Structures are given as structure tokens and as C-alpha cells.
Amino acid sequence: MAARLSFGRAAIYALLVLCALYYLMPLYVMLATSFKTLDEIRAGNLLGLPLAPTGEAWARAWSSACTGAECSGLAPYFLNSLKMAIPAVLVSTMIGSVNGYVLAHWRFRGSEFVFTALMVGCFIPFQVVILPMARLLGMAELANTTTGLVFVHVVYGLAFTTLFFRNYYVTVPEELVRAARIDGAGFFTIYRRIIFPLSLPIFMVSFIWQFTQIWNDFLFGVVFGGADAQPVTVALNNLVNTSTGVKEYNVDMAAAIIAALPTLLLYLIAGKYFVRGLTAGAVKG
């Protein structure tokens, strides 16, 4: 029996290793290619390690040198994405936290309808909101600006963050909130003293989810971002599709890794909190 269990466990581990290698292989190819010269890439050894590793492709991918209205690197657009993603994540998460607290513990007439409408909002495709959002940004004089992109992502992300926090806060015992009310605590006092200190797991879920969605977004960036406000995903697309005669695959691979690096690091550092927060809010509600 013990031998059979050991064999079964070994088979599971072997399968997991194969799956991990399968999913990590593209990343390995990208990383290896980014350190190769064009001559080595043309030799056709796709899986081989760089014979003479060089960081020139990374420097070219990052360089912010500009000619006319076009920039040759990702540096300025990387900064645009940071300016867009960080405030959008913080604002949408805080508003979603308060919304979830209201829908979980401060029921009002029509609260179920509001919650249902927010759930429906989670399934609205990006393309549906482009025209009305473009008109709204134009009226508010926020078109083609980073502030406008922040506003778009906050509005679109509120349905998700509210859903996350509401499902998490319904697991907080109602007796705690009721006892605080009896003691004279108000809306924000209960939130600050009871709800907020218990919210770290779900805040991590919201941070990771929102940052990933906002950082990787292309459609909103290309539609609503002006020449000075385009995020890194748009710049990556422009860089990869630029026709300069010779296709520089090493530069393209380095640029793709640079664009994906923040979300990759975020999941490596805080991935366990993401799973923990999702399961913590799955008890009821």
C-alpha cells in the first residue's frame, strides 16, 4: 500500500513538473532570445542558451530616445502606465471596499437591485462602453489624458471590487456590527474600527486583480490615451509592429518581458494572498 501511494505521489509530481515546464517554456524562450544577437537568432537554435549573452536588446527596448513624435523605447510609456495603474487601483479598491461594506451590513431599499446591477456590470465587454465613455471624457475635457484613463479604469473596475468586498464582508459576523451600533458607533467608525482591520486578504485580492487588469489593458489605452498618455501595452504593440527593414526579435522579446514584469513580480510576491483572499470570501454570501 505504501509503495502504491509513493508511486501515485511521484506520478502527480511528475505531471505537475511537466505542466510547469509547458507553461514556463515560452517565458524561457523569450528570456533566452532577448539576450541573443540577431545572427545567433537567425541560426535557428530556438531553445539554446545564448552563446554570447548581451544586454543590448534590453537597452534598445527601454531607451526613451525620441525622433519627432515617436519614441523608440518603452521608458516613457512604462511611466505612463504607473501613473495610470497606481491611482486607479487605489481609488477603485477603496470605493469598492466602502460599497461592499454598505451592501453587506447596511441594507437599504433597492440594495439587492444595486448589487445585481453591479454583478451584471462585471460581464459588460470593454467595447460596449467605448462610445459613451468617449463622449463623457470629451465633455469633461479629460480625453487623451492619463487622468481620463484613470477615471475609465476606476468606473469599469468598481463592479469587480464591490463584488469582491461584498462577498468578503458578509462573512464578518453581523453581531459585531450590531453591537457597535448599540454602543453608538456610526457608519465610518464601524468601518474604521471593525471592518477595515479585517480586510487585508480581500484588499490584496483587489489590488492584484485591478493592477493586472489595468496594466495589461490595451483597448482603453489605444482608444482614450493620447500621444503623451499611452500606456506601455500600446507602446509595445507599436514597437513590435514597427517596420524598420530588419526584424529585431531580441528587442521585441526584451520589450515584452519589460511590459509584463510588474504583474509577474506582483504575483510572485503576493500570489498566496490572492488565493487566500478569494477563499476567505467564499464561505457564504
Rounded mean pLDDT for each run of 10 residues along the chain, 285 residues in total: 68 91 90 88 81 87 60 82 94 94 84 83 83 89 90 91 90 85 85 88 90 92 86 89 74 91 87 70 49
* DSSP state, residue 51: S
Q: 1-8: list long-range contacts, CB under 8 Å, 24+ apart.
A: none
Cα–Cα distance between 18 and 22 in angstroms, integer? 6
Give the three cell numbers for residue 176: 459585531
Domains defined along the chain, listed by start: 2-54 (no CATH), 70-280 (1.10.3720.10)
- Contact between 105 and 188 (Cβ < 8 Å): no
Cα–Cα distance between 97 and 186 in angstroms, integer? 17
Give the three cell numbers for residue 148: 481620463
Q: 41-44: list long-range contacts, CB under 8 Å, 24+ apart.
A: 41/249, 41/250
Whole-prediction pTM? 0.84
Is residue 231 classed as helix, strand or coil in its secondary structure? Answer: coil
Q: What is the pLDDT of residue 5?
A: 57
Neighbours of 92 (CB within 10 A): 27
Nearest residue to 201 via CA among 97, 264, 94, 280: 280
Q: What is the pLDDT of residue 279?
A: 66
Q: What is the pLDDT of residue 281?
A: 54
Q: What is the pLDDT of residue 3?
A: 58
Q: What is the pLDDT of residue 81?
A: 93
* DSSP state, residue 228: T
